[in-house]
Amino acid sequence: MAAITRNFSARSLLRAMLVVPLVGWAVNAAVDAARAAEAAVTIPAPAVDAAAPAGAGPRTIVLAGGCFWGVQAVFQHTKGVTAAVSGYAGGDKQTAIYDMVGTGSTGHAESVAVTFDPQQISYGKILQIYFSVAHNPTELNRQGPDVGTQYRSAIFYADDDQKRIAEDYHQDFAVLHPTYPYIVFNDAPKVENLKRLFPASYRDMPVTVMASTKTGH
């Protein structure tokens, strides 16, 4: 009987040894998720914001702020935005490939080209949303769980010298894969923050790359 008791105790100890690491992993995962879905902060509107001239056409600004899935998702839900296209900025065209950019050695930043109608939303409002909910400008070369210079914050002015290559796989990722774990923990909260902090600028139906391609826009 004593032997059986000792064997049972040994099995119990083994179970405990296995359970403790699992519990620790679960706690760490929960902490990481909480950190990733950090609270948004409303940044004041810019002191100077030029009004759109009569008849002004679409404008484009390229924004980098961590993983482009989340930044794209935020602006796809922003009223006045007509297109939000994921791509890369800051590096060479030859190395603007997802797997290569992911190494952090190409000099690129994951970016989103945001095209907007200045008659509906101003450049200043775009920047206010960018700094408030699309990313955390206080983090250096990272956003949430993503670390590396490819996740740095940057604003790129569109011109002929800056060519961006977008891969179809990454376009509309948050819209097409809303239950993807990364989207659930890191990007969906950004869209919810846009809806909560800027309800007047929020659109429920996102403007997608797929729809723009089909209509030829």
Phi–psi pair at 190, nearest 5 degrees: -65, -45
Active site residue 108: no
pLDDT at 165: 31
Predicted confidence at residue 214, as pLDDT, reads 62
The residues, ordered by sequence, that sit 6+ positions from 201 with a Cβ below 8 Å of its Cβ are: 78, 79, 80, 121, 125, 129, 194
Please check the confidence at residue 124 and state whether its pLDDT lies above 80.
yes
Which residues span the domain enclosing 93? 59-215
Residue 168 is assigned to a structural domain of this protein: yes
Cα–Cα distance measured from residue 24 to residue 13, given in angstroms and rounded to the nearest whole number: 17
* CATH number of the domain that residue 195 is part of: 3.30.1060.10
8-state DSSP, 198 = -
> pLDDT per residue over 14-50, tens digit each?
343 444 444 444 445 544 554 545 667 777 777 667 6
If we measure between CA atoms, which residue out of 142, 135, 3 comes closest to residue 74? Answer: 135
Task: Evaluate if residue 179 carries a pLDDT over 80.
Answer: yes
- Whole-number pLDDT of residue 201: 95
With 90 as the cut, is the pLDDT of residue 111 above it? yes
**Residue 143, strand partner residues:** 146
pLDDT tens track for 128-148 = 899 889 888 778 888 888 899
Alpha-carbon dihedral angle through residues 40, 129, 33, 84, given to the nearest 10 degrees: 170
* Domains: count for the chain: 1
CA 48 – CA 32 distance, rounded (Å) = 38
Does residue 29 fall inside a structural domain?
no
> Is residue 27 in some structural domain?
no
In a domain, 147, yes or no: yes
Answer yes or no: is 43 within a domain. no
CA distance 144 to 152: 11
CA distance 92 to 196: 38
pTM score, whole prediction: 0.67
CA distance 86 to 29: 28
Q: Is the residue at 101 inside a domain?
A: yes
Give the rounded distance of the alpha carbon of 187 from its chain centre. 5
- Looking at the domain assignment, is residue 145 inside a domain? yes
Q: What is the pLDDT of residue 139?
A: 83
Residue 136 inside a domain? The answer is yes
Query: Which entry of 67, 83, 188, 207 is annotated as an active-site residue?
Result: 67
